[in-house]
Amino acid sequence: MTTAQKIAEVELEMERTQKNKATSYHLGQLKAKLAKLKRELIEGGKGKSGPVGEGFDVSKSGDARVGMIGFPSVGKSTLLTKLTGTESKIAAYEFTTLTCIPGNVFYKGSKIQLLDLPGIIEGAKDGKGRGKQVIAVARTCNLICIVLDATKPMKHKKIIEGELEGFGIRLNKQPPKVDFKIKPKGGINITHMVENPDLDDEMIKTILKEYRINSVDIVFREKINEDQLIDIIEGNRKYIPCLYVMNKIDDLTMEELDIIDQIPHYVPISAHLEWNLDELIERMWEYLDLYRVYTKPKGKAPDYEKPVILPRKKSTVEDFCMRIHRTMINDMKYALVWGTSVKHNPQVCGKDHQLNDEDIVQIIKKI
């Protein structure tokens, strides 16, 4: 039996199993089985543990990477062309784009790499078309834009999400706050720091058994479910923010538009007529969660033209130095910081100081 056939078999058994308290552990075990089989499929056979799938040969550049994922002919290439000025072939037929086309969006002093990608269809993650390659690129993005055609059925959204989920991508979610440490011996130790009604110890042990994990320390710092536990054990999940870009709104009525406008993470646009593209870029910036930090050479005004761009989660003085030059941190005596991250302007700060958006930094070197 091929891996794909095994997957189909497990999925069928899950469908047929009635959901109740008595069958829940069996279902949990099946979920774990499914996750293992999917990993096998993605990695292309047993035993291989290399990178997850091969992407296209486009290197990362700029301050962040945004990927456009969607069905064929939803308008991805039209959008790339309008937002970046980089031409990517546009046509009314499906699968016009066959490779990855990068362009740049310049915004608030940052340079954001935007990727146009081939359209994907259902079953992409199982190796249909170029879908596997496309989703492999999605895993490398700082933001995913799922591009949808407003005139097409809403179920397309679910299909694309399912493809990305199946490839280990988690959209608009945070990694669960759980410590998970496998040990050579010592048995299973479970500590609940919070109540965990969706995941009892029997379920945890059933899933661990499926993975043949006999010794492990687990500390739950938040409430999670069995799917999230499997994510933790698998360990290769990517947590990526996602915007749903609803294109071709020029073909909608005002009433239809009003509904879309209220859905979270949605941006309605018309790429072709360039409607609402400023809003889209603003939302991309917001979802990328980037800080601008200005450098200030000694005795000179800060450089407001070329900020150092840092992800909010990696924005200490050390991160700032590393972004400028690898060895800079070794030569630093201390940093002078102006802005909202400090009480005094300027304030003397060490390498671990957490910066804020639009802070100004001057590095004072050792002599």
Binding site for K ion (CB under 5 A): 73, 91, 96
Tell me the per-residue interface mask from 234 to 273 with ligand GTP, x by CB under 6 A, - otherwise: -------------xx-xx------------------xxxx
72 binds ligand GTP (CB under 6 A): yes
**Span near ligand GTP by CB under 6 A; candidates 31-39, 55-63, 75-83, 349-357:** 75-83
Residues in contact with ligand GTP, counted by CB under 6 A, come to a total of 25
Nearer to ligand GTP, 96 or 172 (CB): 96
Residue choice 29, 86, 96, 295 for contact with ligand GTP (CB under 6 A): 96
* Nearest C-alpha neighbor of 285 from the set 111, 117, 80, 135: 111
Sign of CA dihedral 291, 294, 365, 325: positive
Q: Which does 248 bind (CB under 5 to 8 A by kind): K ion, ligand GTP, Mg ion, none?
A: ligand GTP
How many angstroms separate the Cα of 132 from the Cα of each of 137, 238, 292?
Answer: 9, 15, 34
Question: Which stretches does DSSP call E strand in the chain?
Answer: 64-70, 101-107, 110-116, 143-149, 169-171, 178-182, 188-192, 216-220, 238-240, 242-247, 266-268, 290-295, 308-311, 332-338, 347-349, 360-365
Chosen from Mg ion, ligand GTP, K ion, none, partner binding at 257 (C-beta under 5 to 8 Å by type): none
| Choice from 12, 91, 182, 348 touching ligand GTP (CB under 6 A) | 91
Residue 171 backbone dihedrals phi, psi, to 5 degrees: -95, 130
Candidates 27, 37, 73, 220; binder of ligand GTP (CB under 6 A) is 73
Q: For residues 215 and 56, give the distance between their C-alpha atoms in angstroms, rounded to a whole number.
A: 39
- Given the rule CB under 6 A, which residues bind ligand GTP? 70, 72-78, 90-92, 94-97, 118-119, 247-248, 250-251, 270-273
